Amino acid sequence: MTQDRHIALAELDRFCRAAFLAVGADEATADAATRSMMHGTRFGVDSHGVRLLPHYLKVLQGGRLNPRPQVRKVGGMGAIEVLDADHAQGALGAYRGMERACELARQFGIGAVAIRNNSHFGPAGAYSLAAAQQGLIGISFCNSDSFVRLHDGAMRFHGTNPISVAVPVQGEDPWFLDMATSAIPYNRVLLYRSLGVELPVGVASDEAGVNTIDPGKTEMLAPLGGEFGFKGAALAGVAEIFSAVLTGMTLSFDIPHMDGPDFSTPRRMGAFVLALNPDAFLDRAQFDAGMRRYVDTLRNSPAREDCRVMAPGDREWQVARQREVQGVILDPTTATEFASLSASLGIAPLA
């Protein structure tokens, strides 16, 4: 990372919101997109953090995204709803979907929302965590444009297709999982290109499907699992079915590439979110005791020498607490792009 100064999270939040408003986005879009990116930056998922701001502004200005969408219900029954996001910035559709899923879960015990005509929504964990922070279990899926080969495959097939689950834990931060079904996310490749850092072995391939550690030569990612990558490819299929097939939206290999060259045509992406109310299944005290027993035993289980056993989310919460105090050091490319945006959009530079 660059050796420049730390930037406070509140300052990054201010800059992002101002940038969205400066290109004509409405307040709802600016809020949702900024919340999503700040989730990534706060929790150390820098590939899905504020480094995405220049891209989102480009596609808003290009016409791919609707700067003033009208998200509306278009279908469903009982505890199930279908929302049309009206080609919104993806975080807006996903947050609205999870809000409705939580309302339905309080009424029915479960709420499932399929989201149509959405777009890239950033870190899936942002939406699952929004449910867990209300005492519900949140689950989120999304597919994306093809960049991941199948196990033993030599072409782009699935997107990075994230799956996220977040669960409340009484008196503690929620347990939460946020994972790409690829070996690494595509935005990690872009981040490593910016930093001039080599990739780990076995996570990326060149155009022939041959492994490479050079982010500049990366043409596709490997599925999660290394030698057992068929498991990651199958998990990607789960996300594909929930977020594209079940919503009637575009399959990964038919989605126009995130990086263009066409930034004017909506990509008709889908997403799927689910909220579960533990109270519908058992007494809340029993649920809370079970989760506490589970995570306490997990964290205190024997560890290998010089290692520490952690629950999903533990590392992220640790990073979040550190960054809330110290702020964030931007990677060189993002720092340069933010300076350029400040000048071109007339926004006060990062303090």
Q: Look up the CATH number of the domain holding residue 147.
A: 3.30.1370.60
pLDDT tens column, 143-194: 999 999 999 899 999 999 999 999 999 999 999 999 999 998 887 888 888 8
What pLDDT score does 47 carry?
87
Write out the residue range of the structural domain in which residue 82 sits: 9-283+329-345
In a domain, 308, yes or no: no
> Is pLDDT larger for residue 187 or for residue 289?
289
Position 301 in a domain: no
Q: Given a cut of 70, is residue 3 above it in pLDDT?
A: no
At 305-350, the pLDDT tens digits run 999 999 999 999 999 999 999 999 998 889 999 999 999 999 999 9
- Give the distance, in angstroms, between the CA of residue 266 and the centroid of all CA atoms in the same chain: 19
Model pLDDT for residues 35-47, shown as the tens digit of each residue: 999 999 999 999 8
DSSP 176: E
Is residue 229 included in any domain, yes or no? Answer: yes
Report the SS3 class of residue 223. Answer: strand
pLDDT given at position 149 = 94
Whether 190 is covered by a domain: the verdict is yes
Residue 300 falls inside a structural domain: no
Using the predicted structure, report yes or no on whether residue 84 has a pLDDT greater than 80.
Answer: yes
Number of domains in the chain: 1
- DSSP for 270-338 reads EEEEEEE-GGGTS-HHHHHHHHHHHHHHHHTS---TT-----TTHHHHHHHHHHHHH-BPPPHHHHHHH
The pTM (predicted TM-score) of the whole model is: 0.93
In a domain, 243, yes or no: yes
